[in-house]
Structure 1
Amino acid sequence: MFSLQISKYSTPYKTLCSCYDPPGNSFASSFYVPPNLIDFGTVFSKFDASNASVYGTVIATLVVFGLMAIWSRRKDNQDKVKWKYGFLKDNKIDENYMYLISVETGLRKHSGCKSTISFILSGEDGDTGARILGDGERYFESGSVMNFICTTNMSLGKLLYLRVWNDSSGENQWASWYLVKIIVEDLNTKESCVFVVNNWLAVDKGDGMLERVVPVASSTELMSF
């Protein structure tokens, strides 16, 4: 009787066997699975009415997939609009010193706002004067983080505090605003300051105040925030 063993040199793709009686005889084999090609010229002519439920399931799945792809694409485009860097609507052409202002709105019910929001950013060397916090295209949605470029005619120096207020001009629930924080980055020095508000600017919520004056947050405040 022949003694046949699988060699240790075999791989998942090729089998090598050794036959020791008579000795020295070896052979190898491999497996090839031909692809199952689809002939689209005849595939629809082979439709079987008894498998209508299967075809219906496949078609429904493709339709749902297509609708989800369209919905996801629209959401991606909306996110691009939310995260884009907009220039403040009252920037002046002759101002060339820039600050990046990132505004975070809270996730609370009716925390978004369509009112006009204004601010004054003050530093050791001056302030911005009363400015409108917005680019005229977007509004502050609940849970959003919006970025704006604010231009000034000079550096404000070391930032000290931020005064921000809400004119409550939005209709119904869009009049109030829950502001979490505002981060201001000097695009020339790359230094950033955080102004933590974490409160309502509304007449009918919180303490009823429409205006906040906020100093630059210390490292201790940021750790506990």
Structure 2
Amino acid sequence: MTFSNSFHVPPNRIDFSSVFLKFSPLNQAAVMATLILILIIYALAIIWARRQDRLDVLKWGVTPLADNFFSDNYFYVIKVITGIRPGAGTRSRVGFVIAGEDMDTGRFELPYIRIWHDNSGGGKHSGWYLSRIEVQDVQRNETFV
């Protein structure tokens, strides 16, 4: 069964010349000031967010260790993943040693995030919540967690 109707209501036309006449200059100024304020707040939020993105790129980038040598012929990439909870970071001194079948790397310290710690951070900064560490052997393209 099909139903139909021939009754059509056309939309009302808007006469913008009369619409703006109904606003007083005070109302127009308030509307414009509100729009400009929202635009300024939006622009400042974009600038702040972009700066935060740039800081994140620095934090997530690869940082070579200070005691790396150009003569080194074996390389590892170490990813340190802290847990997502308040106070997960530490200011304590932390280091690492990678041991293999034949030898170990010796003791190294990471410049920003570290792997063993001595609880010297003091107070709430002495502990650390470490989620996991991933060590990638660049030559063999193997990853160990």
Query: What TM-score, normalized to structure 1?
Result: 0.50
Identity of aligned residues (%): 38
1:145-192 CA distances to partner (integer Å, 9 max, x unpaired)? xxxxxxxxxxxxxxxxxxx52022224322211111100111111111
Which protein has the larger Cα radius of gyration, Structure 1 or Structure 2? 1
Q: Which runs of 5+ in 2 are unaligned?
A: 1-24
Residues 11-53 of structure 1, C-alpha deviation per residue, up to 9 Å, x if partnerless? xxxxxxxxxxxxxxxxxxxxxxxxxxxxxxxxxxxxx444111
Match of 2:88 in 1: 111
Equivalent residue of 1:122, what SS? coil
Pick from 68, 71, 77: which aligns with 1:91?
68
* Structure 1 residues 180 and 79: CA distance shift in structure 2, 3 A: same
Q: Distance in 2 between matches of 1:93 and 1:102?
A: 21
Indicate the structure with greater helix content.
2
Count of residue correspondences: 121
Match of 2:38 among 34, 41, 61: 61
Amino acid at match of 2:74: Y
Aligned-residue offset at 1:139: 4.4
Higher strand share: 1
CA gap of 1:93–1:171, structure 2 versus 1, over 3 A, is farther
Residue ranges of structure 1 left out of the alignment (5+ in a row): 1-47, 141-163, 195-225
SS of 2:84's equivalent in the other structure is: coil
- In structure 2, the partner of 1:186 is 137
Question: TM-score, normalization: structure 2?
Answer: 0.75
Query: Is the Cα contact below 8 Å between 2:80 and 2:113 reproduced in 1?
Result: no
Q: CA separation in 2, counterparts of 1:55 and 1:116?
A: 55
Q: Take 2:122 and 2:40, find their aligned partners in 1: how far apart are those partners?
A: 39
Q: Tell me: higher relative CO, structure 1 or 2? Use CA pairs within 8 A at least 6 residues apart.
A: 2
CA distance in 1, matches of 2:121, 2:134: 24
